[in-house]
Amino acid sequence: MRTIAAISTPLGRGGVSMIRITGDMAFEVASGLFVPKSGLEIDKIRSNSAVYGSFFDKDGVFDDGILILYRAPKSYTGENTVELCCHGGLLVTKKLLEAAITAGASYADAGEFTKRAFINGRITLSQAEAIGGIIDAKNEKHLAASVLQSEGTLSKKIASLSEKLAYLAASVYAYIDYPDEDLREVTAEEMKSSLILIRDELEQLAGTHRYGQAISEGIKTVIIGKPNTGKSSVLNALTGYDRAIVTDIAGTTRDIITEQIRLGDLMLNLSDTAGIRESADFIENIGIEKSKRALYDAELVLAVFDGSQPFDEEDSAIVSEIKAAGKEDCTIYLLNKSDLGTSFPDFPIKRQIEFSAVCGIGKDKLERLVAEMFG
Range among 105-114, 245-254, 261-270 rated most confident: 105-114
The CA-atom distances, in angstroms, between 95 and each of 17, 23, 90, 92, 167 are 12, 21, 9, 5, 56
The angle that helices 140-150 and 125-136 make with each other, rounded to 10 degrees, is 150
Does the pLDDT of residue 247 top 50, yes or no? no
More confident position, 296 or 105: 105
Q: How far apart are CA 217 and CA 168, in angstroms?
A: 37
Quick: pLDDT tens for 272-283: 876 665 555 555
Which of 69, 103, 89, 63 is closest to 7 using CA atoms? 89
Question: For 211, which DSSP code?
Answer: H
pLDDT of residue 346: 62
In this prediction, residue 354 carries a pLDDT of 85
Residues 26-48 pLDDT 10s: 999 999 999 999 988 888 899 99
Which amino acid is present at 295?
Answer: L
User: 303: closest CA among 313, 290, 291?
Assistant: 291
CA dist 279 → 227, 284, 286, 321 (Å): 11, 7, 10, 16
Alpha helix segments (H runs only) across 178-263: 188-216, 231-239
Whole-angstrom distance, CA of residue 347 vs CA of residue 309: 12
- Average of per-residue pLDDT values in the chain: 83
Residues 199, 181: Cα–Cα separation, whole Å = 29
Q: Which of 308, 302, 298, 299 is nearest to 349 (CA)?
A: 302
User: How does pLDDT run across 330-363, given as a tens digit for each residue?
Assistant: 889 888 888 777 766 566 667 888 888 878 888 8
pLDDT, residue 184, reads 65
What residue spans define the domains of the chain?
4-119, 124-212, 219-373
- Residue 262 binned pLDDT confidence (cut-offs 50, 70, 90): confident
CATH topology for 219-373 is: Rossmann fold (3.40.50)
> Distance between CA atoms of 106 and 116, rounded to whole angstroms?
14
Homologous superfamily (CATH) for 4-119: Probable tRNA modification gtpase trme; domain 1 (3.30.1360.120)
Confidence of residue 254 (pLDDT cuts 50, 70, 90): very low
Cis peptide before 73 (omega within 30 of 0): yes
Q: What's the full length of the chain, in residues?
A: 375
Question: CA separation (Å) from 90 to 87, 95, 193, 246?
Answer: 9, 9, 62, 44
Please, are residues 289 and 273 in contact by the beta-carbon 8 Å criterion? no
**300-306 vs 331-336, strand pairing mode:** parallel
pTM: 0.61
**Nearest by Cα to 335 from 368, 302, 286, 296:** 302
- Interval 90-149: pLDDT, tens: 999 999 999 999 999 999 999 899 999 999 999 888 888 888 888 877 777 778 877 887
Q: What is the pLDDT of residue 251?
A: 46
* pLDDT tens sequence across 298-342: 888 898 888 788 887 888 888 888 888 888 888 898 888 887 777
